[in-house]
Amino acid sequence: MSRSLLPTADSLPDELAQALKKGSPLLVLVSLDGCPFCKVARENYLGPMREQQGLPVVQIDMRSSRAIRDFKGATLTQDQLIRSWGIKVVPTVLFFGSGGVEIAERLVGGYIPDFYGAYLDGRLRLARVALRS
């Protein structure tokens, strides 16, 4: 049930193209099955923002062998992609702009529940400004 809030990405170039068409960055949640902080990020923040605001956000899973196409067009597993990005902590939210370039600081971890929404909003605001410049 909770996974239905965020689709799993199959092709990052396609997801990014759709986001940019809307004038928005692409947000990617890196999560892990059974991670309680990932569930909070997905269900309380990113899922509702996707549903209510149409925010382009997808999820990829650490340790998943599911295939995904990266921004360069290569096909690899989700876990290989996450490792190539140097991500070791979940949840991590990434903000991508044109060319698959990160345009805001990553939001790493979920241990700050009182401030998570504010940190997410702040990074999203910065990503939107970077996208327009």
- Domains with residue ranges and CATH for the chain: 2-128 (3.40.30.10)
d(CA 128, CA 133) in angstroms, rounded, equals: 9
Residue 133: pLDDT band with limits 50, 70, 90: confident
Distance of CA 78 to the CA centre of its chain: 13
At 12-64, the pLDDT tens digits run: 999 999 999 999 999 999 999 999 999 999 999 999 999 999 999 999 999 99
Sign of CA dihedral 16, 61, 104, 54: positive
At 50-92, the pLDDT tens digits run: 999 999 999 999 999 999 999 999 999 999 999 999 999 999 9
